[in-house]
Amino acid sequence: MGRWVTINGAHVWLEEGQSPMDAFIRQKGGINPQRKKMDEELELLEAYYQDAETEEERQKYKEKIDKLKDKMYEEDMKNWDKNLGNEIVSNVTSNIGQDNPNIRTFSDKIANQSKESAIVFDDNGKEIMFKDGEQYKVQFRGQELNQLKDMNFTHNHPTTHMYDTMFSKQDLIFMYDNDLKSMSAINKNGTIITLTRDKSIITDDQHKPGFLAGDFQRQKESLGRQAGGSLEKLDEAGEQMSNWLEQNAEKYGFRYKRQNR
């Protein structure tokens, strides 16, 4: 499944989930096996980076990632006219970011649950899976995980406060690791926050999609410490985090939307 798009005047077939850069390069002659191997290595290193438990480990993987990206850039330049890079995004027509009414429909079903629940659904509004969870988590295992790629995912955060409504680091890692198309969370007031991936966005070396979880969590923890135990200040911190996503999500290859009741 895919669509035709225009990239720098060229008519290019864009596969579902494929970035415009990859589509353009493949049409011009393909990515060589060495470059493909680098992509796979980068994906693995980014996963290790996210799972690192100490700052020392994170730094070690960050250095490896930076060195690999330098090599990838050199390889790309063999197949890629660098003057086209900024033109791709503006020349690609995409429906990503448009309202998906199914997000509200499915999210409302679980908004008032006392424990976390989740619903997985496709773009046609077909429910793929429903899961009841525990107080603050829903777990997926085995074959369930194999059904998540390119799906939309919504779950409830049983709270009325914006700080607790915001995504957790685990939410964002789960979205990235399982290649979800969108991740939504709804609170008891009916407020929905949604991140939708947009693979047509070209990110820089400091804002790869896999880096969002860690960067967002550091911002959230910093604001939480500043708020102390004040619920009013925590609500303010939640609003700040929503604003942070609105301003920064696109840098990491995502679109952010907030819907109030």
Q: Quick one: pLDDT band at residue 247, thresholds 50, 70, 90?
A: very high
pLDDT digits (tens, 9 = 90+) for 99-131: 688 999 999 999 998 889 999 999 989 999 998
In a domain, 73, yes or no: yes
Q: CA 245 to CA 240: how far, in whole Å?
A: 9
Four-residue CA torsion sign, 124, 129, 133, 139: negative
H or E segment to which residue 12 belongs: strand 10-15
pLDDT digit string, tens, across residues 32-44: 667 678 878 888 8
The pLDDT assigned to 227 comes to: 84
H-helix or E-strand spanning residue 127: strand 127-132
110 and 166 co-located in one domain: yes
Taking only the tens place, the pLDDT of each residue in 157-171 is 988 889 989 999 999
The H or E element containing residue 220 is: helix 212-227
The mean pLDDT value for 181-208 works out to 92
CA distance 196 to 103: 11
- Beta strands 192-197 and 182-186: pairing type? antiparallel
What residues form DSSP beta bridges with 256?
195
Q: Find the domain containing 22 and state its range.
A: 2-91
Instruction: Check whether residue 105 and residue 207 sit in a common domain.
Output: yes
The number of folded domains in the chain is 2
Residues 81 and 138 in one domain: no
Q: Are residues 173 and 205 in the same domain?
A: yes
Does residue 79 sit in the same domain as residue 111? no
Mean pLDDT, residues 228-248 taken together = 89
Q: Which of 38, 61, 91 is the endpoint of a domain?
A: 91
pLDDT of the residue at 197? 93
* CATH at 177: 3.40.140
